[in-house]
DNA sequence: CAGCGGGTTGACTGACCAGTCAATCCGGGG
DNA sequence: CCCCGGATTGACTGGTCAGTCAACCCGCTG
């Protein structure tokens, strides 16, 4: 077997990718700071030096992981915003995407949230602008909803975006640190609860809803 | 003057306190990880070794700062809960306390939030339980409000607590990293907005509200 | 089959820093 | 005036890693 193709096993043992994937595991397991570059190399079954062949530094590995994923998030939000849906459903779709991202690859989301998004210090600082883009996109959705009257204007759009994203992040954090029960049921419940809290509010005031 | 008292200048150059205060500045400025113990000692104008006379480790310094403050927070929440107020006003009081804490000592709050609360990894891990106590206290308030009918039961109390606290933390984070305008006006506005978002919701559904 | 060069290896170096410790200082008894 | 013990000092040690680099492997080309 395998005479024409150079290899027929995995299309190509893309070492760069292997390193990236290994880094996700390593960072998720030990945390970025506690994780040594050699942990990444070991996990990837690759020599120490190779990490530096593909990346300028340990930081760049994390940068890459974050940007790869965050850019997808930004695209998805923009796309959702483009659809013709009630604002409430747009928010639900965004919450869904983020929560499903966690469901598919908890380690990756853990790294992004714990080491970048929630670490605006050390690391996230570099990415503050990128992170803010997401807030801005969400604020846009709220702003338009306020303009067409489907959302009240009691709160500024950017503030609403903060609260919305904040709720999502808290929930993910709860799962990440086992402070909150997780499972298929909880994932869907969380999506609904987040939207219900932010959009519906806690007050019973207008009972009917 | 001052012949009876041992000293009459500052009541007592409580070195331990000086170290703690210096640590707040040092941690806030450089971040816990990037901050060296010698930075703390320098800032406190005290010899390096003295830090280890009063604390077992650099970690213990941060622990102390966090616990000192968080315990106050827990007491305050409990006290607020004890008062006879509408749930909405209790939440407003809690948001006020936290935001005023930031107004009063931004560096300390920065350290607590950035290095402990939002760093459930590395550090916060030790304090997860303590942090959760705050959530639980808030959830209690929501639960009672649901029981007496002033809050809807569309969402679980613990979930509402998460969203509420999450909103506060996002706002503080915004101020800490200059992502959000801050000032006296903004502080009060934020208190109102947080409560308005969580309690009132974004939906225009029942216009009156 | 020699030579080239990118991919790969892992030992090694330079920096950095938390924590230790022996020495010094100083106030208060005795 | 001397001694004791806690407070204070800061030089030094041990260990840890990120990042470097010289050498090696191997497929391909001429």
Nearest to B102 by CA among B183, B202, B37: B183
Contact status of A200 with chain B (Cβ, < 8 Å): yes
B52 CB-to-strand D distance under 7 Å: yes
State the pLDDT at residue B1: 40
Tens-place pLDDT, residues A26-36: 999 999 999 99
Q: What is the pLDDT of residue A203?
A: 85
- The C1' atom of D21 and the CA atom of B59 lie apart, in whole Å, by 37
A203·B196 Cβ contact <8 A: no
Would you say residue B135 has pLDDT above 60?
yes
**pLDDT at residue number A207:** 41
pLDDT at B121: 76
Sort out which chain A residues have CB atoms less than 8 A from B34's CB and list them.
Answer: 122
B166 lies within 8 A of chain A by CB? yes
Confidence check: pLDDT of B4 > 60: no
Residue numbers in B near A163 (CB within 8 A): 163, 166-167, 170, 193-194, 197-198
Range in A52-61, A190-199, B11-20 the model is least confident about: B11-20
Rounded to a whole number, what is the distance in Å from the CA of B179 to chain A's nearest CA? 8
DSSP B179: S
Tell me the average pLDDT across B6-31: 81
Checking phi first, is residue A127 left (phi over 0); if not, alpha (psi -120 to 50) or beta?
alpha
pLDDT at B206: 53
Q: What pTM was computed for the model?
A: 0.91
Q: What angle do CA B199, B204, B205 make, to 5 degrees?
A: 95
- Cβ contact A162–B171 (<8 Å): yes
Tell me: pLDDT of A208 over 70: no
pLDDT tens for B56-80 read 999 999 999 999 999 999 999 999 9
Which residues face B151 on adjacent strands?
A203
Average pLDDT over residues A34-63: 97
**A10 CB neighbours strand C below 7 A:** no
- Any A CB within 8 A of B107 CB: no
Q: How do residues A72-111 score in pLDDT, each as one tens digit?
A: 999 999 999 999 999 999 999 999 999 999 999 999 999 9
pLDDT reported for residue A55 = 97
Rounded to a whole number of angstroms, the distance from the CA of A181 to the nearest CA of chain B is: 11
Nucleotides of D under 7 A from a protein CB: 7-12, 16-22, 27-28
DSSP classification of residue A114: I
Per-residue pLDDT at A12: 54
Asked if A58 CB < 7 A from strand D, the reply is yes
Q: Any chain A CB within 8 A of the CB of B136?
A: no
Residue B96: is its pLDDT beyond 60?
Answer: yes
Structure-block tokens of residue A30: 């030990």
Among B154, B140, B153, B148, which residue's Cα sits nearest to residue B91? Answer: B140
**Strand D reaches within 7 A of the A97 CB:** no
What are A132-169's pLDDT values in tens digits? Answer: 999 999 999 999 999 999 999 999 999 999 999 999 99
**How much is the mean pLDDT over chain A?**
91
Distance between CA atoms of residues B58 and B104, nearest Å: 25
A156 φ, ψ to 5°? -70, 150
Task: Report whether pLDDT(B3) > 60.
Answer: no
Check whether A202 has a pLDDT greater than 90: no
pLDDT digits (tens, 9 = 90+) for B140-188: 999 999 999 999 999 999 999 999 999 999 999 999 999 999 999 999 9
C-alpha distance from A31 to closest chain B C-alpha (Å) = 7
pLDDT at B204: 76
Q: Is the pLDDT of residue A11 over 50?
A: no
Q: What's the whole-number mean pLDDT along residues A51-64? A: 97
């Amino acid at each position: 077997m395998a005479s024409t193709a150079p290899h027929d096993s995995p299309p190509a043992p893309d070492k760069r990718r292997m390193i990236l994937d290994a880094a996700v595991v390593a960072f998720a397991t030990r945390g970025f700071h506690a994780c040594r570059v050699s942990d990444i190399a070991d996990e990837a079954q690759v020599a120490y030096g190779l990490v530096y062949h593909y990346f300028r530094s340990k930081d760049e590995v994390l940068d890459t992981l974050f940007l790869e994923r965050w850019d997808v998030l930004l695209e998805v939000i923009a796309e959702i915003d483009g659809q013709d849906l009630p604002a409430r459903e747009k928010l639900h779709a965004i919450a869904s995407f983020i929560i499903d991202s966690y469901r598919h690859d908890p380690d990756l989301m853990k790294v992004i949230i714990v080491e970048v998004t929630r670490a605006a210090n050390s690391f996230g600082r570099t990415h503050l602008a990128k992170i803010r883009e997401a807030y801005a996109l969400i604020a846009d959705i709220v702003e338009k909803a306020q303009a067409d009257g489907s959302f009240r204007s009691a709160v500024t759009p950017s503030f609403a975006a903060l609260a919305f994203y904040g709720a999502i992040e808290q929930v993910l954090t709860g799962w990440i640190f086992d402070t909150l029960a997780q499972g298929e049921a909880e994932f869907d419940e969380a999506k609904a609860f987040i939207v219900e809290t932010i959009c519906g509010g806690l007050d019973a005031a207008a009972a009917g809803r």
